[in-house]
Chains A and B, each alone.
Chain A
Amino acid sequence: MRDPRDIAIGVFFLALSGVLLFAIQGFPSGTLAEGMGARLMPLVLTLCLAFLSLLLLLHGFRSGRYQPGENLAPAGRALDPPLLGPHLKTPGILIALLTAYLLGLEYAGFLAGNAVFLLLATRSLGATWKGAAKTSLFLTVLTYLIFGVALDVPLPAFSLLAR
């Protein structure tokens, strides 16, 4: 069976190798006796990456033809979950929430930003609004006491009005 995952990964890393080879062209090369320039190490690594990506790609093609619905997992192992599907909804929400949290942290400050972020994150994980509020409040206060008070970390303060 052809393994579409191996083909996709091989293509991705081969493309990445191409981009890296282009990027390191401008690096000074130096000489071996001088202990190499800035270029040699990334160059060696990138060439190895390109070679292995090609191997993976070939392996993906040589594995045979993939039949739709065929179990790609090796014998005795469970089939991996599909790459895309509804199971990615909650991870996607968490990534979006964390991105929004980081973008707004400077304005909202730690206490408000963290509380809202945790409230929505906990709720997205299946908690009730009441349970999410309790968890969010408890964890925000706890981390503030550990980091802000005990470890004296200057956590971002609320600055929305000042701006």
Chain B
Amino acid sequence: MLGDMGIFSLYTLGLGRTLQPDVLLFLFFGTLVGLIFGVIPGLSATIGIAIFTPFTFKMSPEASFALLLGIYCGSTFGGSISAILANIPGTIAAIMTVHDGHPMALKGEAGRAIGLATISSFIGGLLSVVALVFFAPLIARWALEFSAQEYFAITLFGISVIAYISTGSMVKGFISALIGLLLATVGADPTTAYPRFTFDSVALLGGLPMVPLIVGVFGFAEVLRMAEKDASAYRRITEVGKIIPSMRELGRLLGTMARGSFIGVFIGAVPAAGASIAAIISYGVEKRISSHPETFGTGEPRGIAGPESANNATTGGAMIPMMTLGVPGDLVTALLIGAMLIHGLHPGPLLFKDHPQIVSSIFISLTLSNVIFLVLGLCGARLFAKLITLRREVLVSMILCLSIVGTYSIENSIFHVWVYLVGGIAGYVMTRVGVPVSPLVLGFILGPMVESFFRQALILSYGNPIYFFARPIAAIFLGLTILLMLAPFLMKKLFGYQYSGG
């Protein structure tokens, strides 16, 4: 079906199923929830999607992805509001917005800063959807030629990149990824049905439940981290003022937004390079090409427009490798892969061939979500600003309650909540001792795929792993993975650069 379908036809194929009242309602709700999660410091798209994935079990795939993609887009933008008003990025994606957003707010131009952030985010998000719609089918068509060797190499590369760029030591990142891959082997062996690490428990025969573990590792662990801290008082601006910027100002910033969007799409499509990196690069580029770089950091509109268009442009960019190859562009897309698997959908080129309506629905949901946050951001900024003052105990209790009952509701099983509890404690302890949790989650989600591709590839290679290198694309990705692992040693040898943590 992929071969004989144009890009426009693919985009419009799912219009009928997506423009249903229930799907639109979930899309609106998801974007609103995402905005709220983005605005509140400490919460993020990852936590939002982890908490709300259990809600999607009884929903149609279209409604599920509308909800989750709404959260993704909404929270990526929402972080800018607290960055501007409270000098704290609500999400890591808004890390650069604080530099010029908050100084503008201190000058009494908080509304103008929020307006610029909203419109820049909208343009970045929309252009990233355009890139996704154009490039994803092309890559998917190309990826149809891939065999298990290529998929194994690409999946392994994705996990390695996440482990490499995780906070702290690279060795700890790889250890975390290995733990995730090992956790994925729990349960009956997919080929021989031999029970592995089940300890005679029937509940574990089907493997560790994915969603409770992820919600625990992110949701409950975050609750425990928030419970550690005292309620902090920080300087918040409550006067928002005029929000919609003038057409003249927007015209002046169009080039900045276009550059930011291009950077965001490109960075987003690189596995594991996320929204914060795109925002940092965009800010750096704008400052470098500016004739007045000294204005950056004092309330320069380009310091908001560039990073905000870049970080939102990573949403569509990160979806490209996720949808076409099954390799997540960032942690949120790794969770989206988990949500797809729950609905029996396998991301990769066959998704375009077997479920083009779902692909189309994802494209449309992403487009509409950008429109919804534009409207919500411009009209409701004053309301969202009040969320920053939400009391910690109310916030923590709300997350606890929703995540516990949400986890239980997946299979009406208390065992799932125990997994949530243990996963949360493990996630909390890991972050306390400096072991990143993102590689663990990615390894756990991609583990079954890695094992399956590895086994198929071995059969195709007559049991000889050397044949993996006989296929050019597999060889390139395996070579890159090995380079990544050796990077600290090579850097030390070649440039005398010392990598922390070995």
Contacts and interface: CB of A to CB of B under 8 A. Distances in A.
Interface in A1-47: 5-6, 8-9, 13, 20, 23-24, 27-28, 30-38, 41-42, 45-46
Interface of B is mostly: helix
B397 A125 contact: yes
Given A37-B192, A87-B228, A106 B414 contact: yes
Contacts of B185: 41-42, 45
Contact of B462 (A30, A33, A139, A143): A33
B7 to A, nearest CB: 37
Interface string A100-135: 011001100010001000100110111100011001
A32 B401 contact: no
Contacts of A126: 231, 392-393
B418 interface: yes
A160 interface: no
Contacts of A122: 393-394, 396-397
Contacts of B454: 36, 41
B484 to A, nearest CB: 14
B175 interface: yes
Contact of A32 (B192, B224, B458): B458
A56 B182 contact: no
A99 B421 CA distance: 8
B412 A46 contact: no
Interface string B205-237: 000000000000000100111011101000000
A125 B392 contact: yes
Interface in B361-396: 391-394, 396
A149 interface: no
A41 B457 CA distance: 13
A127 B390 CA distance: 13
Interface in A124-163: 124-127, 131-132, 135-136, 139-140, 142-143, 147, 151, 153-156
B414 A102 contact: yes
B500 A31 contact: no
B499 to A, nearest CB: 10
Bin the interface of chain B by size: 35 or more
B181 A32 contact: no
Nearest to B229: A87
A70 interface: no
B418 A102 contact: yes
A43 to B, nearest CB: 10
A59 B405 contact: no
A78 interface: no
A32 to B, nearest CB: 3
Nearest to A91: B224
Nearest to B417: A102
B99 interface: no
Interface residues of A, number: 70
A38 B455 CA distance: 11
A98 B404 contact: yes
Contact of A118 (B228, B397, B408, B455): B397
B348 to A, nearest CB: 20
Nearest to A53: B175
Contact of A9 (B404, B409, B418, B433): B433
B16 interface: no
Given A31-B463, A35-B456, A105-B414, A46 B182 contact: yes
Given A9-B433, A90-B227, A125 B396 contact: yes
Contact of A45 (B178, B220, B421, B434): B178
A20 B182 contact: yes
A69 interface: no
Nearest to B435: A9
Given A42-B185, A94-B223, A98-B404, A49 B463 contact: no
A56 B223 contact: no
B231 A49 contact: no
A143 B178 contact: no
A74 B462 CA distance: 47
A11 B434 CA distance: 15
A141 to B, nearest CB: 11
A147 B189 contact: no
B427 to A, nearest CB: 12
Contacts of A132: 393
A110 B414 CA distance: 11
B402 A27 contact: no
A118 B404 CA distance: 11
A46 B223 CA distance: 31
B291 interface: no
A155 B243 CA distance: 45
Nearest to A118: B397
Interface string B441-467: 000000000010011101100111000
The 6 A-B residue pairs with the shortest CB-CB distance, nearest first, are A32-B463, A38-B189, A125-B393, A33-B463, A59-B502, A38-B194
17 contacts: A5-B433, A27-B194, A32-B458, A32-B463, A35-B455, A45-B178, A48-B174, A49-B179, A83-B433, A91-B224, A91-B225, A98-B404, A102-B421, A118-B397, A125-B393, A125-B397, A126-B392
Interface of B: 55, 58, 169, 171-172, 174-175, 178-179, 181-182, 185, 189, 191-192, 194, 196-197, 220, 223-225, 227-229, 231, 391-394, 396-398, 400-402, 404-406, 408-409, 412, 414, 417-418, 421, 425, 428, 432-435, 451, 454-456, 458-459, 462-464, 500-502
Given A9-B172, A33-B458, 9 more contacts: A35-B459, A56-B172, A56-B175, A74-B500, A80-B434, A95-B425, A114-B405, A121-B396, A140-B401
